[in-house]
Chains A and B, each alone.
Chain A
Amino acid sequence: MIRKHESLPKSSDLVIIGGGPTGMAAAVAAAKSGLQIVLLDEGEAPGGQIYRDVERSTPTRQKILGSDYTAGEELAAQLRASDACYIPKSTVWNISSDRLIDYSIGGSSYQLQANFVLVATGAVERPSPIVGWTKPGVTNAGALQILLKSAGIVEESAILAGSGPLLWLVGSQMVAAGSPPVAIVETTPGGRIQSALPHIAGALRGYRYLRKGFSLIRKVRSAGVPVYSAASNLRVMGDKEATGLQFSSKGKVHKLSSRNVALHQGVVPNPQITRLLGCEHRWDEMQRCFRPVTNERGLTSVENVYVAGDGAGVLGAVSAALQGRLAALDIAAKLGKIRPERPNRLEAGLKKDGAIRPFLETLYAPAPEFILPADDITVCRCEEITAGAVRSAVQLGALGPNQVKSYLRSGMGPCQGRVCGLVVSAIIAGHRDVSMDECGYFRIRPPLKPLSLEELAGFEPLEKPEP
């Protein structure tokens, strides 16, 4: 059900933030258990990014994007059929520690009191800083997929550069769409297969994913797309716009022409809401990112706040849905709606689905030049701060991301660290030779997205009941 603004709910047993596989699966499971659910989704329609616009997908797009994408249709249909109150186009901009949620729809703000919150805001792409990456024409690889999913638009003659399965997925989809990339420039350093071999048992358990991966690589290569391996020293060519990519591979310097360079170094949890709420986070060396600390049901260190899906740690869409259901059932049991039971099948499903991850994470971990970019590379895109400037600030005594933020403004721009957070922390930790946990991350403050003063002025908070 989509409510009119006058009848927006003021409270709910469970508020889920995010309309991707986690949020959809959790909403359906929770509604089935008899919980009141509100799902706040920034998107126009359910699906998040991975199943973006799946409800209105055309046969042409479905054929290109494949069954891993169309699997989202079923979840979206279940959400629509459920008793969950689905509120699209809503942007959460603040949550208090007692779970009072401030959100914005179409220029007006509203408040909603949640008994439980499930953060299901998924992942963002890892920063991939290279010389010239701020020029028009340079995008994330995920952006090409979103263009295809949401609008049936495919970039022509693109270069895909980076490391990770998404590179091959996007490449094969572009081949299928009749617009193969100019090249795949793989930055995965040589010798990685050997490093990943200790995890081969898990990879074999996840043989379906392995098989799919090989099939994607085969599709791209057999379409005649040149593949460059162990590429390094990437720089975008061009003055006002991207005109191509220069890189070294196997001892030679290559210059490829293209007006679209799509970068990818994997995906990482989107930390804005868990950080805003003050949840405890810990550095995960295997996934090379911070993850919120949770129990096995997704409960964070903050009372009644859960996180599930890629926002808890990147495991992909299938695991995301399983985790969403697990969290929803845990909350339903706490509220006495269902008998607490060990959800053995869900747990077994998670173990199986996640088995291949250590192998993939080791194989495709970013090369050092992306973790610790050279001095002249812009790392904070919003404020145009270079890696060298961050290092100089550390020399001057700015020992953590928040001090560096005060010195340089990195992290103060509109993206609030969504793009640069991890790389700024890594540079500081690297320069000081301390652990990522010791270095920490930007403090995240409301509003999570820009609000006009007009909207804030017109905002009527919920009345607190008289004590």
Chain B
Amino acid sequence: MATRIDEAGEGVSFTFEGHRIEARSGDTVASALAAAGQRHLRDSVVSGEPRGHFCMMGTCFDCLLVIDGKPNVQACRTNVRNGMKVRRQKGLESGE
């Protein structure tokens, strides 16, 4: 598990796969999900195997999520916003 050693900024909440996640402003979606113990972020394009965040810096593209209907969003490069609807990306997705 991951823990917060401090609580900077303000409280922000969003949903991941329908579940409410409490985060702080300044979190990226990837950090907030890591803190919430959510490791499974997407199913890979090739084999459908589960993937989670890897580099946290926008290099590896493993943390791709569907955010507010938009797919292929790097969770580690996206700051959390109140009311964001986030879900796992299953394989290849191209917009709703």
- A residues with CB within 8 A of B: 42, 44, 49, 53, 56, 58, 60-61, 64, 124-125, 134-140, 142-143, 146-148, 150-157, 177-179, 240-241, 259-260, 270, 381-384, 413-415, 418-419, 450, 452
| Beta-carbon contact of A156 and B57 below 8 Å | no
| A147-B34 contact given A53-B26, A240-B50, CB 8 Å threshold | yes
Bound-state CA distance A56–B10 (Å) is: 13
A53 nearest CB neighbor, chain B only: B26
What B residues does A153 contact at CB under 8 A?
2-5, 31, 34-35
B47 nearest CB neighbor, chain A only: A384
| Beta-carbon contact of A419 and B8 below 8 Å | no
| A140-B55 contact given A152-B4, A177-B5, CB 8 Å threshold | yes
| Beta-carbon contact of A152 and B5 below 8 Å | yes
| Beta-carbon contact of A147 and B40 below 8 Å | no
What B residues does A241 contact at CB under 8 A?
39-40, 50, 52
A/B interface sample: 21 pairs, CB < 8 A: A44-B79, A124-B55, A125-B59, A137-B39, A142-B57, A143-B53, A143-B55, A151-B28, A152-B7, A152-B8, A153-B31, A154-B2, A154-B3, A155-B34, A259-B1, A259-B39, A382-B45, A384-B44, A384-B46, A384-B49, A414-B64
What A residues does B60 contact at CB under 8 A?
381, 415, 418-419
For A56, A140, A148, the residue with the greatest tally of chain B CB atoms inside 10 Å of its CB is A140
Task: Give the Cβ gap from A135 to chain B, nearest Cβ, in Å.
Answer: 7
Task: Give the Cβ gap from A184 to chain B, nearest Cβ, in Å.
Answer: 19
| A139-B35 contact given A58-B6, A155-B2, A259-B1, CB 8 Å threshold | no
| Beta-carbon contact of B49 and A134 below 8 Å | yes
- B residues with CB within 8 A of A: 1-9, 24, 26-28, 31-32, 34-35, 39-41, 44-47, 49-62, 64, 72, 76-77, 79, 95
Chain B binding surface SS class: loop
Bound-state CA distance A392–B46 (Å) is: 19
Chain A binding surface SS class: loop
Task: Give the Cβ gap from B35 to chain A, nearest Cβ, in Å.
Answer: 5
What B residues does A178 contact at CB under 8 A?
5
| A419-B39 contact given A56-B8, A60-B5, CB 8 Å threshold | no
What B residues does A156 contact at CB under 8 A?
1-3
Task: Give the Cβ gap from A21 to chain B, nearest Cβ, in Å.
Answer: 15
Task: Give the Cβ gap from A199 to chain B, nearest Cβ, in Å.
Answer: 30
Question: B8 touches which one: A58, A64, A125, A240 (CB < 8 A)?
Answer: A58
What B residues does A383 contact at CB under 8 A?
45-46
Question: B41 touches which one: A136, A146, A151 (CB < 8 A)?
Answer: A136
| Beta-carbon contact of B5 and A64 below 8 Å | yes
B37 nearest CB neighbor, chain A only: A259
| Beta-carbon contact of A143 and B57 below 8 Å | yes
Task: Give the Cβ gap from B93 to chain A, nearest Cβ, in Å.
Answer: 12
Task: Give the Cβ gap from A132 to chain B, nearest Cβ, in Å.
Answer: 11
A454 nearest CB neighbor, chain B only: B95
What B residues does A60 contact at CB under 8 A?
5-6
Bound-state CA distance A150–B35 (Å) is: 12
Bound-state CA distance A419–B63 (Å) is: 14
Bound-state CA distance A178–B5 (Å) is: 9
What B residues does A452 contact at CB under 8 A?
95
Question: A135 touches which one: B1, B3, B50 (CB < 8 A)?
Answer: B50
